[in-house]
Amino acid sequence: MSEQVSIAVVGSGYVGLVAAACFAEMGHRVICVDNDEAKVRVLREGGVPIHEEYLPELLSRHRRNLVEFTTDLRSATQDAQAIFIAVGTPQSKTGSADLSYVDAVASEIARSINSYKVIVEKSTVPVYTNEWIRRVIERNGVPRELFDVASNPEFLREGTAVVDFLHADRIVIGAATERAAELLRRIYEPLTSGAYYRGQSPVPGPRSEADPPPILQTSTKAAEIIKHASNAFLATKISFINIVANICEAAGADVEEVARGIGMDTRIGPKFLRAGIGYGGSCFPKDVAAFRHVAEQVGVDFGLLHEVERINEEQKVRFFQKVRSALWTFRGKKIGVLGLAFKGGTDDIRESPALDIVKRLLHEGCIVRAFDPAAEQRSKEVIPESSQMEYVQDPYTAAQDADALLILNDWKDFLEIDFKRLHHTLRYPIIIDGRNLLDPPTMAGMGFTYLSVGRANSVQPLDTIPTYFLPRERENIKRS
Ligand code: UDX
């Protein structure tokens, strides 16, 4: 039987809330703190403010019993053995991470410490943050023997956050003292010993009792850099495949075949090689900029990350040009849009490439009818409903009388669409797929003009796309 630890989690965003629910699922006693009273009320009353698979189940399983919500950081700190800081680290004007929330929380924790605590950075932070937190706490008069600061970065993805947490590839613990490392190892013991997976109704996922997640113990600085470098590397992989997709388009090759070929090299691996309209979300854009800034501060030229960002921006522009190539002019054209969130499986629209494209369409005078299985509410806060922008409840209404249909994120639900029905609904059967979700020959076979990223276009005889728009693609045009 694993030993229960009292944990406070400060911040109830994606990372904080998921960590709180998962720690409770692992058998610990958790108190989740947020200064947003309305959010705490919602959580206490059984609401779940984010769209995340398994989160409602875990919260209802453990609410009141193992996980509580409060705005009172002081008493939460006093009751806890470990305090996880999971507050936002937004991007500042210079691109660096704005650490003012972390600073404020650290000072507040310091004022409440009454016995030994391990303060754990869970938010993504630049190297040296750990040292800063330690200094802030010391400056507030807390004796050195009453606390340690450790780093335990979180690698969860939105949409699969609970499974990523409970079935992690690895658990990184950056600690300077054995006392702090020991407490963190104890917290993760239900996972690392495999006990969680043989328990009653564990959340299913890739890990098992026979293959539990490994722990990697490092210095605090290495742990901080591991997090930034992981996100920067994944973003680099995406920009890399996107540039390769552009070469494929020009050369007449299929980027999906190329990605498969590259990914079969075990040194490279098949993941994060999906070409499209670029990466978005609350992490990659912010973390690439923050890591670039860290490099600058320590005197290292990380020009590669500039290129990664530039390619990511370009990818949206190129897609937009592709839409223009299919439609000629924009003003007054009706465009159906599938997907608004920054990727499928989430309602998060932060830095969403899909919303960027929609804004460009609206700016050019298009009339947009958009459908997303979860992100409608959040999108409305950024692009309110108007005579130009309508939100609809299903893909067929989005396509109704449209001059073209755009696919802008990768919801699995879009694969279930009856495209034959959709064909009759569209004014012109043109689909422009920014996430390479569909199969070009199948779409051509159904009579669609189908354009995607880094693959041959399937153009129906009547849809003459002037060759000056698609200079090198003439040879690839399949006529059905
Ligand atoms: C990411 C990291 O994956 C996660 O480890 C970290 O903790 C937080 O940041 P997340 O932002 O939830 O997670 O999304 P992710 O699934 O990584 O996708 C990020 C963006 O890249 C999305 O816009 C997605 O559509 C895009 N993407 C992803 C691609 O364009 N191609 C790919 O092959 C993979």
Mean pLDDT along residues 307-313: 98
* Whether pLDDT at 403 is above 60: yes
Residue % of the chain over a pLDDT of 70: 96
Catalytic entry in 22, 32, 248, 283:
283
Does ligand 1 come within 6 angstroms of the Cβ of 156? yes
Confidence class for position 462, pLDDT limits 50, 70, 90 = low
CB 26 within 8 A of CB 196: yes
Query: How many C-beta neighbours within 10 Å does residue 477 have?
Result: 18
Which residue's alpha carbon is at the smallest distance from atom 1 of ligand 1?
A: 157
User: Mean pLDDT lowest for which of 12-16, 128-132, 274-278, 457-461?
Assistant: 457-461
Residue 231 CB–ligand 1 contact under 6 Å: yes
Kindly indicate the confidence band of residue 97, based on its pLDDT and cuts at 50, 70 and 90. confident
**Which whole number is the average pLDDT over 413-435?**
96
The pLDDT value recorded for residue 88 is 87
* CATH 1.10.1040.10 domain range(s) in the chain: 227-311
Which has the minimum average pLDDT: 161-170, 352-361, 449-458?
A: 449-458
Can you read off the two tokens belonging to residue 446? 């159904």
Give the pLDDT score at 465: 54
172 lines ligand 1 (CB under 6 A): no
How large is the average pLDDT for residues 241-248?
Answer: 98
Q: Is the CB–ligand 1 distance for residue 272 below 6 Å?
A: yes
- Give the CATH H-level superfamily of domain 314-479: NAD(P)-binding Rossmann-like Domain (3.40.50.720)
The pLDDT of residue 469 is 46
pLDDT band at 64 (very low <50, low <70, confident <90, very high): confident
Q: What is the pLDDT of residue 4?
A: 96
Q: Is the pLDDT of residue 1 over 70?
A: no
**Residue range(s) in the chain whose domain bears CATH number 3.40.50.720:** 6-218, 314-479
Distance of CA 351 from the midpoint of ligand 1 (Å): 12
Q: What is the pLDDT of residues 158-208, one digit of tens each?
A: 999 999 999 999 999 999 999 999 999 999 999 999 999 999 999 999 999
pLDDT exceeds cutoff 80 at 479? no
Q: Which atom of ligand 1 is nearest to the CA of 273?
A: 33
Question: In this model, does residue 480 exceed pLDDT 90?
Answer: no
What average pLDDT does the structure give for the chain? 93
- Quick one: three-class SS letters along the chain? CCCCCEEEEECCCHHHHHHHHHHHHCCCEEEEECCCHHHHHHHHCCCCCCCCCCHHHHHHHHECCCEEEECCHHHHHHHCCEEEECCCCCECCCCCECCHHHHHHHHHHHHHCCCCEEEEECCCCCCCHHHHHHHHHHHCCCCHHHEEEEECCCCCCCCCHHHHHHCCCCEEEECCCHHHHHHHHHHHHHHHCCHHHHCCCCCCCCCCCCCCCCEEEECHHHHHHHHHHHHHHHHHHHHHHHHHHHHHHHHCCCHHHHHHHHHCCCCCCCCCCCCCCCCCCCCHHHHHHHHHHHHHHCCCCCHHHHHHHHHHHHHHHHHHHHHHHHHCCCCCCEEEEECCCCCCCCCCCCCCHHHHHHHHHHHCCCEEEEECCCCHHHHHHHCCCCCCEEECCCHHHHHCCCCEEEECCCCHHHHHCCHHHHHHHCCCCEEEECCCCCCHHHHHHCCCEEECCCCCCECCCCCCCCCCCCCCCHHHCECC
Task: Identify the pLDDT of residue 385.
Answer: 97
Q: Does the C-beta of 84 come closer than 6 Å to ligand 1? A: no
Which residue's CA is the nearest one to ligand 1's atom 25? 343
Rg, C-alpha atoms of the chain: 24
What's the Cα-to-Cα distance from 229 to each of 120, 225, 301, 303, rounded to whole Å? 19, 6, 15, 14
Whose Cα sits closest to atom 21 in ligand 1? 279
d(CA 358, CA 267): 37
The region of weakest confidence among 122-126, 448-452, 459-463 is 459-463
What's the pLDDT score for residue 449? 94
- pLDDT over 90, % of the chain: 88
Active site residue 283: yes
458 alpha carbon to ligand 1 midpoint, in Å? 28
The pair of structure tokens assigned to 296 is: 């600058």
The encoded tokens of residue 370 equal 């958009």
Probe ligand 1: pick from 284, 315, 348, max atoms within 8 Å of CB? 284
Q: What's the pLDDT at 57?
A: 96
- Specify whether the CB–CB gap between 230 and 155 falls below 8 A: yes
- In this prediction, residues 317-333 reach a mean pLDDT of 94
Task: Answer yes or no: is the C-beta of 279 below 6 A from any ligand 1 atom.
Answer: yes
* Angstrom distance (rounded) from CA 196 to CA 208: 8
Q: What is residue 468's predicted lDDT score, i.e. its pLDDT?
A: 43
Worst-scoring range by mean pLDDT, 16-20, 22-26, 33-37, 326-330? 326-330
- CA of 200 from ligand 1 middle (Å) equals 31
Ligand 1 close to Cβ of residue 395 (< 6 A): no
Mutation to probe ligand 1, out of 51, 121, 125, 157 (largest number of atoms < 8 A from CB): 157
Sign of the CA dihedral with 216 first, then 221, 224, and 228 last: negative
| pTM to 2 decimal places | 0.93
Q: Which CATH superfamily is domain 6-218 in?
A: NAD(P)-binding Rossmann-like Domain (3.40.50.720)
Confidence of residue 240 (pLDDT cuts 50, 70, 90): very high
Nearest CA to ligand 1 atom 27: 279
Identify the residue with better confidence: 475 or 348. 348
Question: Is any atom of ligand 1 closer than 6 Å to the C-beta of 319?
Answer: no
Position 230, amino acid = S
Q: What is the pLDDT of residue 10?
A: 97
pLDDT band at 90 (very low <50, low <70, confident <90, very high): confident
Between 213 and 461, where is the model more confident? Answer: 213
Q: Is the CB of 334 under 6 A from ligand 1?
A: no
CATH superfamily name and code, 227-311: N-(1-d-carboxylethyl)-l-norvaline Dehydrogenase; domain 2 (1.10.1040.10)
Calpha distance 209→456 (Å, rounded): 45
Is 475's pLDDT higher than 90?
no
343's CB contacts (< 8 A; 6+ apart) are 158, 159, 280, 281, 409, 410
